[in-house]
Structure 1
Amino acid sequence: MNPNLDRLQPYPFEKLRALFDGIAPPAGLKPIRLSIGEPQHPTPGFIRQTLADNLGGLATYPTTLGSDALRGAIARWLERRYGLPWIDPAVQVVPVNGSREALFAFAQCVVDGSRPGARVASPNPFYQIYEGAALLAGAEPVFLNTLPQDGFAYDFDAVPDATWRDVQLVYVCSPGNPTGHVLGLDEWKRLFELSDLHGFVIAADECYSEIYFDDGARPIGGLEAAWRLGRTDFRNVVMFSSLSKRSNVPGMRSGFVAGDARILAEFLRYRTYHGCAMNPAVQAASVAAWNDEEHVAENRRLYREKFARIVPMLKPWLATDVPDAGFYLWAGVPQGLPDTDFARRLQAEYNVTVLPGSYLAREAHGINPGAGFVRIALVADTHECVEAAERLIAFCQKL
């Protein structure tokens, strides 16, 4: 067996199950699950219908590169969304079965684990796939703590040059999971400078990009930042996006990677052997989803409504605020109470599930930057989220 498998930590939800072992929540309170970032808004009817109308495609093997129609729809969406003048769907877009599998596979393609000291950098706290991908590619993780006193921004200059020299891949997540931080143009500029200096590839995880609260301040994407800063070839930059959060179709497993054509050519070659072509019916439904913005605007409206209701309720009790974007509240628990104790007691006494922040981070530079926080996913409907907030307040009042 690959010895690096033994280096993988239990996934956060495995830890959560162990934390809750032996708990019997009050039978009179229905469970409210705010721990997992699974969109629960209804899937738009036109997407479901398009999927049903194209089941004949199941009789054929799909190509790894996907259909011209799908790549064209993604390219045109990128141009509309980020103001890019031209994305070549033939060489700058590759469809993938959701961003999760692609984020993992990308490291296996990009990282040369045979090089002594190979490293992969990521934010901390972070989406756990980054760490697993690094370890199984034969690299050592490098963690960039994102802290509340810095507005959860990346401090790239905190990493010594001697470490950067060994970094082959940098994951960034914008909007961030779990903090909601959106990289600004200055952060992108510094990251591009470091990439030019040290030669690493940037993997920009942008699957929350369409859940934002101000139409006049949409999150900047990695390709948009590259273009605005004169990197019109997107050198060493690849972005990852998905329909899961944007269109409420996590079960379709549909996303894409886009950017540096040179890197994508190698990633496509890897994927041809990996065997992960997208279902033809899913491709057709994805074309319909990428071509429509009305349902996305309605989705944003629902999240905005929830945050407008929930944040004022919780702010007097938990250290939290509306994030830059995304559907998570990254909430500081009352001082002196471990986040694991907070989550366990909340589950036991009020049947509300949240995720301890320490499960989403690793100790780096002497601290675990997720400790003292919980991640609250406002994915349920407004009524259920309000009920959860009321239970959270009742719990905090008892502490």
Structure 2
Amino acid sequence: MTMFLIFAAVVLLLFLGVTTAVTMGFASIATYLAAGGDMARLFLVPQRMFAQVSGITLMSIPFFLLMGNLMSVGGISRSLFGFGRVCLGHRWGGLSNAAIAASIVMAAMSGSAAACAAGIGMIAIGEMTKAGYARPFSCATIAAGGALGPIIPPSITLILYAGLTSTSVNALFEAGVLPGLLLGLAFMGWSSYVSWKNGYAKADPEPMSVRWAAFKDAFWALLTPVIVIGGMFGGYFTATEAAAVASLYVMALGFFVTKTLKVKDLPRIFWETVEQTAKVMFVIATAGFFQYVLLYTRIPQETISFITSNFHSITPVILMIIAILVVMGCFMEGTAILLITVPIFVPLAKSFGYDVTQLGIVMCVALAIGVLTPPVGLNLYVMSSITGEKLMAIAREAVGYVVIMILLAVLVAFVPELSVGFAGLLGE
């Protein structure tokens, strides 16, 4: 009953427009006092908040946010989509495949769903419309491609999960590679099928000279995920160091390769990064006291006791977790959901002997579905604001992509070789 009241209070406050951080802080303090907590011990609030954001793992977040902001003005998305277009444009759904392929590379740079969708959307929508693609389908495809951002490493969602669970960031990143790539390929397959069914135009094959020129144009951008992911997996630097190196590299690309980044742009980019970092860290900080309140009220322990006494297999529990995350994603932002559910779902999974790293990938995929589901689907709003298309029209076209993501979440949940098994191969 206590957990239900907490959840109801959080949802109500979010619907009233209260920010996520203030909502979680208010709900935590109110629950603590209602449970008989000593008001004098509220000095624990700033202590817990500080402890939650003081970990080295979370230091990578501002650097990845900075990299995303630098990419948005650095012209990187244009070269990536151009390379994908000349290589894939002659296939059914070639332009949609090119948008998804560019999103895969963008995801391996920024780790943000909205950044991927906005970066590719500004470039791809015009060309897809000229080629005869229905605009709602084009928007849905790019929104789905953006959903790869929180899954393919480096992922801000996985960094948060690592900080909340004391799990290795590198292990999570390694486990997220194959599911992210499989999801991207499945998206390509679906977009090709829809394009074939609706007769969307195919472009003439480009000569090798044009493909080579496009590759040279995109070469330095394509090196970014190699630096980030290859450097971490090769043991050359940590996730935080990789984010810092990649930010400097993307800045250099903007100044000296694409030449679209100017010195006068840097103060605005830095300030936007500071604002974004403050918002994210404030939410994470309030989650520190929220976790303490959950432990104080013994909600995780009671939940585990109830479920383990009624379920004797991990299968229905994992399916329940996926279903809860998908439904919550329709109404809440992914970061808030992660912070609320991790203190309950992780100990629950551990009680059944389920791998915490594998659970992280399952939760990450399930949470990413939320960017495509109204009424809170972030990427739907991004594409609607860019193109002027009605949000529900885009959402209808995104249903196929949502179904694919749910199926992949279930597949990853019960086939460990797709996540932790693949991570083991990378680690050898």
Is the pair's TM-score, using the shorter chain for normalization, greater than 0.5?
A: no
Whose strand proportion is higher, 1 or 2? Answer: 1
Whose helix proportion is higher, 1 or 2? Answer: 2
